[in-house]
Amino acid sequence: MQTAPLNSFARLLTLSAALFGAAAGSVPAGAADAFPSKPITMLVAFPPGGPADVLARAMQPTMAKVLGQPFVIENLPGAGGALAVQRMLSRPADGYTLIMGSPNEAILTPLSNASAKYKPEELVLLAPISTHPLVVMARNDLPYSSLEQVIAAGKKPGNPGLTFGSPGNGSMYHIVSEYIAQTTGAKLLHVPYKGATPMMQDLAGQQIDITILPNLGASTQLLETRKIKALDILDTQRMRTLPDVPAITESTLAQKQSLVYAVWLGVMARDGMPAERARALMEASQQAIRSPEMARALALSGVQAMKSQPLEVSAKFYADETDKFKRMARSIRLTPQ
């Protein structure tokens, strides 16, 4: 007669044990979902030593400390940045693979490179880091001292057209130069190069007339040694590193149209990441941007950090940049090659 009560009690113990086990089992499951639980890789679409690489490595110590995991920098140059972007997009949207991105590889490469099999909308901007104003540079014997004079020369009847170099067809610097020529009516002839280094060598060697680039890397030394000259800063204010070069808004040319252009760098990821992971990476990135290492890197390059902003603001900024460059690309009839 005691069998039933004993069985009931046994069943109660079994049920309690199962419930306890389920509750206990939820702890490891939650721990397994903690982010990050393994190293994070940041891809850089350019060789070591370039601006994107320098800033990525300046972020590295703080990112590793804040996130509690190794933060690995991997350089993967090639195809205008497409190799790095496609590597990131081939991996899950889980926050473990990031890229130090810019408008060039994120927006413009898929518009100009037929082998880039992705769209700008497949990426998301987590945290903008820095903005680099574009500078109009010229061979040092060019008989013009401003972009306004270059455009005036390019509009003269019978003028064969000044040559402008760019580090690649479809790069931001190509599109901006073509767009300025188109909207002002100046005749400028594009000379594309496979990278900035050979182009800057030809500019210093007086093989081309002008180029538009951020004042970073090779151009800094060439300007300091006066092998080339800077005509205008395409910004609203002068640069600390080029105090004698006027901002484009100081010219009468800027009264007719906006000529303010800058290339930005930021932490980007594959779209579709869980919101809590995106916020964690954004917050870690913003701490890294405020770090002493980043302050030194930005000071050396002469550029400014962008202000910290919520994910929603970064998303709108990236969408606006995408729309702007798509309009410019259509205007100059850019076709993928």
Which pLDDT does position 159 carry in this prediction? 82
Residue type, 35: F
More confident residue, 28 or 124: 124
pLDDT at 290: 92
| CA-to-CA dists, residue 29 to 22, 34, 95, angstroms | 10, 9, 19
pLDDT at position 33 is 66
Q: Which pLDDT value is given to residue 246?
A: 96
pLDDT in tens, 283-321: 999 999 999 999 888 887 777 889 899 999 999 999 999
Structure confidence at residue 221 (pLDDT): 85
pLDDT at 278 over 50: yes
DSSP labels, 242-267: BTTSPBGGGSGGGGTS----EEEEEE
Contacts of 335 (CB under 8 A, 6+ apart): 112
Q: What is the mean pLDDT of residues 218-226?
A: 87
Q: What is the pLDDT of residues 164-216, one digit of tens each?
A: 999 988 999 999 999 999 999 999 999 999 888 899 999 999 999 999 999 87
Instruction: Supply the pLDDT for residue 28.
Output: 42
Q: Share the mean pLDDT of the chain.
A: 88
pLDDT of 51 higher than 90: no
**CATH no. for 40-132+263-331:** 3.40.190.150
Structure tokens at 176: 């901006």
Count the alpha carbons within 13 Å of 138 in the hemisphere toward its beta carbon. 19
Domain coordinates of the chain in residue numbers? 40-132+263-331, 133-255
Per CATH, 40-132+263-331 and 133-255 having the same topology is answered yes
pLDDT-derived band at 10 (thresholds 50, 70, 90) equals very low
pLDDT at 227: 95
Q: For 45, list phi and psi in degrees, rounded to 5.
A: -85, 15
CB 135 within 8 A of CB 141: no
User: Domain 133-255 is of which CATH architecture?
Assistant: 3-Layer(aba) Sandwich (3.40)
Mean pLDDT of 61-83: 95
The beta-strand segments (E) located in the chain are 40-44, 71-75, 97-101, 123-139, 162-166, 188-192, 210-214, 228-233, 262-270, 304-305
**Model pLDDT, residue 25:** 40
